[in-house]
A and B are shown apart, each in its own frame.
Chain A
Amino acid sequence: MAETLQATTPLPTPGEAPSANTRKMMIVLSGVAALSGLLIVGIFQLTAPYIDANREAMVEAAIFTVVPEGTQKKAYGFTENGIDPDPTGAGFGERFYAVYDDAGALRGVALEASGQGYQDVIRILYGYDGVRQIVTGMTVLESKETPGLGDKIAKDPVFLANFDALEAAVGGETDVLSHGIVVVKHGKKTNPWEIDGIAGATISSKAIGAMLEASLRAKLPRLRPHLAELEGAGS
């Protein structure tokens, strides 16, 4: 590939007229940039509906994974003094989905949570059943954990089974979590609120437990007073 690097043409000496050349450079560069802009706008317009549909499908699949009994969903957002059926503008973690079955009965709520993992921030979606006071499922939305080790939090069936019926009981009038969500060493789970960790992915599995506990502590007092309202909103 010796031909790759060519000696550039020497700059025109003051005697020559550089204006024609400069004008050509400007015309070519702006022409190419304009063509590039047109192509990009075109492809953006063309693909936007498909990309939106893909994102929607991804969120939907995640919601019905964490609340397996549900078939319909309604999006909500948390506000300062309650909940709002229009989640537009609510950031990640401030949105949730009420999930109903075919008959319109509330089967659970899907909530977003995030926290620092081993590599980067991990974002999860989990289901919460307000009647049985349990977590009904967890799925990882976004993680950059180490492939083969930390990324097992998203794939390991044994680890994910922890969240099929994880106890998240509340006590007192303020609806606070009555005990922590504890991640224990692999094979040492004895209580229903404990998570059986992954050997080789201790930090990642503990991060999931920690973000789940933090989210339950923060969100349950804000969510539980509105469960009856959500129950009535089913169609």
Chain B
Amino acid sequence: MSTAHNESFDIFAKGLWRENPVFVMLLGMCPVLAVSNSVINALAMGLATLFVLVSSSTLVSLLRHVIPKQVRIATYIVIIATFVTIVDYALQAISLEVYLALGAFIQLIVVNCIILGRAEAFASKNGPVQAILDALGMGVGFTFALLCLGGVRELLGNGSLLGVDVFGPHFEPWAVMILPPGGFFVLGAWLLLFAALKARSERRTIEKDGPHVG
């Protein structure tokens, strides 16, 4: 594998795990907690964010030499808002039911700090190929995190997965899980799990390489 290939893959992969926007950077918490009460909502929200992230990062990267510094944030917001409006119409055309379930959170992607953050911190300083890879990685990482929460919450709070009944009619749904407090509980549990995994892998690295000197 060439170094260039390795580097590109690294740009993509860091969003999935090492710099996962939800589990590591704790960004975009508002939609994460609000719409992760079922798998289908989580998936729709994740994909909508992924699309906005990739399109706006691409455009910001292409225009990075043209946009004057003083108005860069305003320009990014206009670009992001455009793609959010596109997603809004597209989702209404694809499934009105999912659109109504997500409520205002589709429009609120405009103010999702992951998107503005990637535009400012990465896309405005890198070429379009790297910007797309970075946005894809972050978007997929965000979708993955939403699905982690959505899966657990729908399973416990509604006894189903993707709308299909899992536990049969005698299961008493744990309603708190699909209510807002459930979002916090499940997010907390996932963060705990991720922190434990991270600590273990760090300990292993130290054991393998010996203690760092200096």
A binds B: yes
Q: Which residues of A contact B (CB under 8 A)?
A: 1, 3-4, 8-9, 21, 24-25, 28-29, 32-33, 35-36, 39-40, 43-44, 46-47, 50-51, 54-55, 58, 142, 144, 146-149
> Residue of B at shortest CB range from A11?
B70
> Residue of B at shortest CB range from A40?
B85
Q: Is the CB of B68 within 8 A of A21?
A: yes
Asked if B112 is at the interface (CB within 8 A of a chain A CB), the reply is no
Residue in contact with B121 in the complex, picked from A1, A21, A25, A146, CB distance below 8 Å: A1
Complex CA–CA separation, A96 to B86 (angstroms): 33
Q: Is the CB of B120 within 8 A of A47?
A: no
Complex CA–CA separation, A32 to B120 (angstroms): 17
Taking A47-B93, A50-B92, A51-B93 as known contacts, 11 extra A-B pairs with beta carbons closer than 8 A to each other, sorted by chain A number, are A1-B121, A8-B69, A21-B68, A25-B68, A28-B63, A29-B75, A32-B75, A36-B79, A147-B37, A148-B158, A148-B179
Residue in contact with A40 in the complex, picked from B67, B86, B158, B179, CB distance below 8 Å: B86
Complex CA–CA separation, A33 to B81 (angstroms): 10
Q: Is the CB of B85 within 8 A of A43?
A: yes
CB distance from B65 to the nearest CB of A (A): 11
CB distance from A82 to the nearest CB of B (A): 33
Q: Is the CB of A54 within 8 A of B175?
A: no
Q: Is the CB of B173 within 8 A of A9?
A: no
Complex CA–CA separation, A55 to B175 (angstroms): 30
Q: Is the CB of B81 within 8 A of A36?
A: yes
- Chain A CB within 10 A, most for which of B68, B74, B85, B100: B68
CB distance from B24 to the nearest CB of A (A): 11
CB distance from A149 to the nearest CB of B (A): 7
* B179 CB contacts on chain A under 8 angstroms: 146-149
Residue in contact with B68 in the complex, picked from A4, A28, A33, A55, CB distance below 8 Å: A28
Complex CA–CA separation, A46 to B90 (angstroms): 9
CB distance from B95 to the nearest CB of A (A): 8
Asked if B89 is at the interface (CB within 8 A of a chain A CB), the reply is yes
Looking at chain A's contact residues, is the secondary structure mostly helix, strand, loop, or mixed? Answer: helix
Q: Which residues of B contact A (CB under 8 A)?
A: 25, 37, 63, 66-71, 74-75, 78-79, 81-82, 85-86, 89-90, 92-97, 100, 103, 117, 120-121, 157-158, 173, 175-176, 178-179
Q: Is the CB of B86 within 8 A of A149?
A: no
CB distance from B71 to the nearest CB of A (A): 5
A25 touching B92 in the complex, CB below 8 Å, given contacts A147-B178, A149-B175: no
* CB-based closest 10 A-B pairs: A148-B175, A50-B93, A36-B82, A47-B93, A54-B96, A47-B89, A51-B92, A43-B86, A25-B68, A25-B71
CB distance from B41 to the nearest CB of A (A): 11
Residue in contact with B93 in the complex, picked from A24, A35, A54, CB distance below 8 Å: A54
Complex CA–CA separation, A15 to B169 (angstroms): 78
CB distance from A140 to the nearest CB of B (A): 11
CB distance from A63 to the nearest CB of B (A): 16
> Residue of B at shortest CB range from A142?
B100
Q: Is the CB of B66 within 8 A of A44?
A: no
Q: Is the CB of A9 within 8 A of B70?
A: yes
Complex CA–CA separation, A21 to B69 (angstroms): 10
> Residue of A at shortest CB range from B79?
A32
* B178 CB contacts on chain A under 8 angstroms: 147-148
Q: Is the CB of A28 within 8 A of B81?
A: no
Q: Is the CB of B70 within 8 A of A25?
A: yes
Q: Is the CB of A44 within 8 A of B89?
A: yes
* B117 CB contacts on chain A under 8 angstroms: 1, 4
Q: Is the CB of B71 within 8 A of A43?
A: no
Residue in contact with A28 in the complex, picked from B75, B89, B90, B93, CB distance below 8 Å: B75
* A146 CB contacts on chain B under 8 angstroms: 179
* B68 CB contacts on chain A under 8 angstroms: 21, 24-25, 28
> Residue of A at shortest CB range from B180?
A147
* B97 CB contacts on chain A under 8 angstroms: 58
* B121 CB contacts on chain A under 8 angstroms: 1, 3-4
| Selected A-B contacts with CB under 8 Å, 26 pairs | A1-B117, A1-B121, A21-B68, A25-B71, A28-B63, A28-B71, A29-B71, A29-B74, A32-B63, A32-B78, A35-B82, A39-B86, A40-B82, A40-B86, A43-B89, A43-B90, A47-B93, A51-B92, A54-B92, A54-B93, A58-B96, A58-B97, A147-B179, A148-B157, A148-B158, A148-B179
